[in-house]
Chains A and B, each alone.
Chain A
C-alpha cells in the first residue's frame, strides 16, 4: 500500500508531463531549437544553464515561466538591467532581437518554455504580433 501511495503522485506527474509535451507540435519544438541554436545558445548555453554572473539561466526562472508579454518584450527590446534573478545578478547585456519574425520568436519561446525542465503554455505568432505592435 505504501508503495502505491508513493508511486501514484509520481505516475500522475509523468502523465501530466507527457500530456503537456504531447500538446506541443514537434515541428514547433524543432523550429524553436533551430532559432535557439543560432541566436541564444552562445550566451544561455546548450542546456539553458546560462553563465554564472554573466548570462542568466533559462531553467525554471520566473522570467521564462511567467508572463508571455514580458518575455516577448525581452526578445524584442533586449535586456540591460541589473535585477536579481533568484538571488544572482548578471552583468552581460542582451541585444534586442527584433529582427526575428513573429513566427521565429513564438517558436523559440515555446521551445525555451518547454525545455531545460520548463513547462509553460506555448507562445503563438499572434501573441508576438500583439506585443510587437504595442512595444516601441
Chain B
C-alpha cells in the first residue's frame, strides 16, 4: 500500500514546493510591477503571467504588432490621447517606450494588411503602418466610417476584418430590450423594434473607402443586442461573435424573480453568416431550458417560443450577465495542442445578478475543432478581481476587457479598471 502512495505524495510535494521555489528565485521578480506570483492570476499548470505595465488608464481592446509592440485603445483620454503604443525595446521584460496619439475615446482596435484600425464610439479610422507595424502618421488617420449611432448604452464599436477587404463593425442597441420605456418595469416592447434598421447588429463596410456611413454598408447580421467580442475564424472563413445578453428579466415579476434573472438569459456565441438574425429583442436564450424563448416584453412567460423558432442558435451559451468583452481564436504556436484554433473569451464580469454573487471576471477557453466547439468551455485565467467573491462590480480590482495574440504565441489581456496589461506564456 505504501508503495502506491509514494508516487502521488512525491508529486504533491513537488507541486507544493515548486511554486514556492519560484517565489524565492529573484529572477521571477525582475519586473517592478509584478508583485505577486503570476500577477495575481490563477492559470492552468505550465502557464505563467506577468503584468508588463500598470495604470495605463481604461484599457479596452488591444492588438500586438509583428515586432511585439502593443496598441491599446482607451475609453477615457489620458493626457488628451486615446491610443497607446507600448514596447519593450531592449527585451528585458519591461515596457520602456510609450507613445500616445488619437484624440478620441473608444474600444475597438485591430491590425490588418498594413493598417491599424481604431474606433471612437461613432467613427472608424485607419492608420498606415510601416514594415514593423509602427504608425507612420499618428496625427492624420483616414476616416473610413462615420455617423454611426452612438446611444450611450452599448455604444462601443468593436471591429474585425476578413481577407477580402471588408471590415465588420458592431453597432450595439442603445436599449436593453426595445421597450416603450427603456428598463421600465412591465413596459412593453416596441413591435417591430425600430432601432434594428441602424443598430442591434453587425455592419459590413469596405476597409479602404473613405467616409462611409449606413448607405455604403450592409447590415451583415441583426438581432444582436450588443457585441463586444468578435473575431474572424480563418479555418472556416466566417465571423464569430459573442453577444451581451439582455438584462432585467425581473422587470416582469409575474414571471421572473431576481434569482431567475441572475441565471437564465445566456451570453451567446454565434457563428455568423450574412443575413443572420440572432433574435434580439424578441428572443433570448434560456440556459436552463437550453433553447430560445420569447421575451416578456413581447408576450413571453418564460416558456413560450413563438417567433423564436427560425432564429440563429448559439454555438456556446455562457453564464448570464458575465459580459464577454473580447473573443480571440488562438492561432499561435506557444500553447499546448489543445488550445490551437480554440477560442479565448474575456469576461468583464456581471452587475445584473444582485443579490446573487456576480459572475465572470475571468478569461474562458472553448476548445474548437474544424471551426466548431469540440468540448465544454472552461475558466482559463481567473483571479483578476483580487477578491474571492465579487458581490458588487466595484469590489473587483481588475476586470478583463481585451485579448491579443503576440508573434511568439503569448496571450495578452487588458484590464480597464487599473489599466494593467497582462502577458500569459506557456513553458513545457
Complex Cα distance, B153 from A64, in Å, reads: 23
Any A CB within 8 A of the CB of B33: no
Given A41-B354, A54-B351, A55-B351, the answer on whether A93 and B182 have CB atoms closer than 8 Å is: yes
Which residues of chain B are within 8 angstroms of A43 by Cβ–Cβ distance? 351-352
Inter-chain contact B183/A92, CB cutoff 8 Å: yes
Q: Mark the stretch among A6-14, A18-26, A44-52 that contacts chain B.
A: A44-52
Residue of A nearest to B121 (CB): A91
Q: How far is the CA of A99 from the CA of B250 in the complex (A)?
A: 16
B183 near A94 (CB under 8 angstroms)?
Answer: yes
Task: Kindly state the separation between the CA atoms of A47 and B390 in the bound complex, as whole angstroms.
Answer: 12
Closest to B394 in A: A49
* B258 adjacent to chain A (CB < 8 Å): yes
Indicate whether A96 sits within 8 Å of B184 (C-beta atoms), given known contacts A45-B393, A57-B394, A91-B155: yes
Mark B245-277 against chain A: 1 for CB-CB distance below 8 A, else 0: 000101000000010010000000000000000
Take A92-B153, A95-B183, A95-B185 as given contacts and tell me if A51 and B393 are in contact as well, using a CB distance cutoff of 8 Å. yes
How many whole Å from A99's CB to the nearest CB in chain B? Answer: 7
A70 on interface, CB distance cutoff 8 Å: no
B394 near A45: Cβ-Cβ < 8 Å: yes
CB-contact partner of B352 in A39, A42, A52, A95, under 8 A: A42
Q: CB of B167 within 8 A of chain A?
A: no
- State in angstroms the CA–CA spacing of A21 and B182 once bound together: 36
Chain A at the B interface: SS class: loop
Tell me the minimal C-beta distance from A77 to chain B in angstroms: 11
Residue of A with least CB distance to B355: A46
B155 — which chain A residues lie within 8 A by C-beta? 91
Q: Which residue of B lies closest to A49 (CB)?
A: B394
Chain B binding surface SS class:
loop
Contact B182 A95 (CB under 8 A): yes
Q: How far is the CB of A46 from chain B (nearest CB, A)?
A: 6
> Given contacts A41-B354, A42-B248, A46-B354, are A91 and B394 in contact (CB under 8 A)?
no
Contacts of A95 in B (CB 8 A): 181-185, 187
B391 contact set on A, CB distance < 8 A: 45-47
**In this assembly, does B303 line the interface, its C-beta being within 8 Å of a C-beta of chain A?**
no
Return the CB mask of A41-82 against B: 1 if under 8 Å, else 0.
Answer: 111011101111111010000000000000000000000001
- What are the residues of chain A within 8 A of B75 when measuring CB–CB? 53
CA distance A19 to B152 in the complex (A): 42
In the complex, how many residues of chain B place their beta carbon closer than 8 angstroms to a beta carbon of chain A? 24
Contact of B394 among A39, A50, A99 (CB under 8 A): A50
In Å, the complex CA distance between A47 and B155 comes to: 27
Q: Which residue of A lies closest to B358 (CB)?
A: A45
B185 partner, pick from A47, A51, A99, beta carbons under 8 A: A99
One digit per residue, 1 when the CB lies within 8 angstroms of any chain A CB and 0 when it does not, for chain B 156-185 equals 000000000000000000000000011111
Query: What is the bound-complex CA distance between A49 and B393, given in angstroms?
Result: 8
CB pair B392 A45 closer than 8 Å: yes
> For residue B395, which residue of chain A has the nearest CB?
A49
Tell yes or no: B417 within 8 A of A by CB: yes
Q: Mark A80-113, 1 if CB is under 8 A from B, else 0.
A: 0010000000011111100100000000000000
Chain A residues near B181 (CB-CB < 8 A): 95-96
Shortest Cβ distance from B182 into A: residue: A93
Closest to B248 in A: A42
Whether the Cβ atoms of B183 and A45 lie closer than 8 Å is no
Q: Are B250 and A42 in contact (CB under 8 A)?
A: yes
Are A45 and B153 touching (Cβ within 8 A)?
Answer: no
> How many Å lie between the Cα of A46 and that of B389 in the bound state?
14
State the Cβ distance, B364 to closest chain A Cβ, in Å. Answer: 21
Which has the most chain B C-beta neighbours within 10 Å: A37, A54, A93, A96? A93
Question: Nearest CB to that of A82 among chain B residues?
Answer: B152
A49→B395 CA distance, assembly (Å): 9
User: Which chain A residue shows the least CB distance to B181?
Assistant: A95
Q: A43 to B184, alpha carbons, bound, how many Å?
A: 13
Question: Distance (Å) between the CB of A56 and the closest chain B CB?
Answer: 11
What are the residues of chain A within 8 A of B185 when measuring CB–CB? 39, 95, 99
Interface pair B394/A41, CB less than 8 Å apart = no
CB contacts under 8 Å to A, within B139-157, are 152-153, 155
A45 CB contact (under 8 Å) in B182, B250, B354: B354
A92 to B173, CA, bound (A): 12
Q: Which of B181, B183, B417 has the most CB of A within 10 A?
A: B183
A52–B182 touching, CB < 8 Å = no
A42 to B354, Cβ gap below 8 A? yes
Given contacts A42-B250, A45-B393, contact A52 B184 (CB under 8 A): no
Residues in B lying within 8 Å of A, measured CB to CB? 75, 152-153, 155, 181-185, 187, 248, 250, 258, 261, 351-352, 354-355, 391-395, 417
**19 A-B pairs with C-beta separation under 8 A:** A42-B248, A43-B352, A45-B351, A45-B392, A45-B394, A46-B355, A47-B394, A49-B395, A51-B392, A52-B417, A53-B75, A57-B394, A82-B152, A91-B155, A93-B153, A93-B182, A95-B184, A95-B187, A99-B185
New A-B contacts (20) at CB < 8 Å, excluding given A45-B351, A91-B152, A92-B183: A39-B185, A41-B354, A42-B248, A42-B258, A43-B351, A43-B352, A46-B355, A46-B392, A47-B394, A53-B75, A55-B351, A93-B152, A93-B182, A93-B183, A95-B181, A95-B183, A95-B184, A95-B185, A95-B187, A96-B181
